[in-house]
A = this chain, B = another copy of it.
């Protein structure tokens, strides 16, 4: 399974592409950030984000796009831009015919570090280790996007096991 992870943001939107399946080695295919200047108007920034994600999808041809679920506990000004960026990311993926899944920050942290309350540095360390990278992915937004992709590969496998177990138990009853 090839997954494009997206850590949405207006100023920096991280993306990372990982291929793999549970129980096998994970392979990092690429990562980066799409940036836009705070001085530009929001329409131009969202259009730049849409174009950048479109290019990433065309280049890496993922089968699924995993986007971080945005919550509004954080800074009010920032979160609105983040939610707008998430909306655009979801739209771009859907328009490209790709399924979109959302994972919460704590699901992602728990998947790669074992703790839902891990800090950013810990996530970066584990992403670097799990993907067998020689240097840590930078900036943190790109590392978070790779963590999202890993989270989806592993959670997807867990969900598939659960679905098989459920259908087996239904068949047996």
Residues of A within 8 A of B (CB): 41-44, 46-47, 50, 70-73, 76, 79-80, 83-88, 90-91, 93-95, 99-100, 102
Contacts and interface: CB of A to CB of B under 8 A. Distances in A.
Copies of this polypeptide in the complex: 2
A102 B86 CA distance: 19
A100 B100 CA distance: 28
Contact of A80 (B41, B47, B72, B99): B72
A90 B40 CA distance: 13
Contacts of A71: 76, 80
A37 B163 CA distance: 26
13 contacts: A41-B100, A43-B90, A43-B99, A46-B87, A70-B80, A71-B76, A72-B79, A72-B80, A79-B83, A83-B83, A83-B84, A84-B90, A86-B87
A7 to B, nearest CB: 15
A131 to B, nearest CB: 27
Contacts of A79: 72, 83
Contacts of A85: 87
Nearest to A83: B83
A3 to B, nearest CB: 15
